[in-house]
Amino acid sequence: MAQQPAETVSKGELRLCARLGLDEAGTQSLLAAMRAGMSSRGAVVLTARAPEGYVPPFACENLGADWLPPRVYVPAVGEKPTSYPDYAEGFYYSLDLSSCWESACLSQVPPPASSLDMCAAPGGKTMLMAARFGGQNHTANEVHPGRRGILRQNLQQCGYPEVEVTGLRPDQWARNGKTFDLLLVDAPCSGQSLLCKGIKNPGCLSSSMVNGNAKRQKGILLSAAQCVTPGGHIVYTTCTYDPEENEKVIAYILKRVPGWYAVEVPELECFRSTLVPFPAYRLLPVHGAGAGGFCCLLRKEN
């Protein structure tokens, strides 16, 4: 029988695996996940519209994971949560499990008197925050006008009319002098994890894409740091793997901006990054909780 030709490994793939410090087995596992594109894992978060005591109408899995945020359910394999009338009613919002795990960072944050989601559309992180703390005194900001419309519509649909929707750039927030107890920065990134969901993302492994995103992320975080009250927090997240857009962005901020430190999140210990001495967390497809991403909780000293 003729042998299948071995798939060639690109320079970008090799660079990424080397930067992540993966051994041979880890490299093979990540490359296989990127090629298979099957790592998507669904989740839903209950919204303000869900009646008291509501449970979703579809079968759910019990992951038994400490990090699963409150009011988040994992539909059993084969279930399609968006096909139920309750979805159209806005009782829950559907997203990837790997967009939920980072919300465990909020377990280390006291209920904020005010909060800002700086990169909010289409609204997943705002919904997760609201599921824990409620939507009062929360601002959902999105710079892109088209995406802002979708954000507004999703918040309306899910019962959060009290959330203020804005469209300022991070540098404009930094200049306007308003501060918040909690900032969510789900930064625009190269989106390498999309490959593991079977979504084409040409160029996401290239140096120019990664470096361009890292530069933008540093700018966004520098602005975000100016918008936090003393003792307040930033949750920084991305859906990409490259340390240049993750650990290195945090290391840059910790060095550049005095008075900030990274906070341990005990529920996320199994995802702790070994690339840096401070607490930061990365999810890979091998963890079985979706396509993956990165998060770090930052606190501003009092």
Ligand X SMILES: C[S@@+](CC[C@H](N)C(=O)[O-])C[C@H]1O[C@@H](n2cnc3c(N)ncnc32)[C@H](O)[C@@H]1O
Residues that bind ligand X (CB under 6 A): 99, 119-125, 142-144, 147, 169-170, 186, 188, 216, 220
Cα Rg for the chain, rounded, in angstroms? 19
Shortest reach from residue 285's CB to ligand X, in Å: 18
Cβ-based nearer residue to ligand X, 17 or 224? 224
Comparing C-alpha atoms, which of 56, 13, 49, 58 is closest to residue 205?
13
Cβ-based nearer residue to ligand X, 147 or 287? 147
Active site residue 239: yes
Q: What are the φ and ψ backbone dihedral angles of 2, each rounded to 5 degrees?
A: -70, 140
Cβ-based nearer residue to ligand X, 181 or 245? 245
Cβ-based nearer residue to ligand X, 29 or 211? 211
Query: Out of 158, 204, 239, 295, which one is annotated catalytic?
Result: 239
Cβ-based nearer residue to ligand X, 22 or 142? 142
Does the bond joining 5 to the residue before it have cis omega, within 30 degrees of 0? no
Cβ-based nearer residue to ligand X, 29 or 201? 201
Contacts of 284 (CB under 8 A, 6+ apart): 29, 30, 33, 241, 292
Shortest reach from residue 24's CB to ligand X, in Å: 31
Is 24 exposed, middle or buried (CB count within 10 Å of its CB: 0-12, 13-18, 19+)? Answer: exposed
Shortest reach from residue 14's CB to ligand X, in Å: 26
Which residues does the annotation mark as catalytic?
239
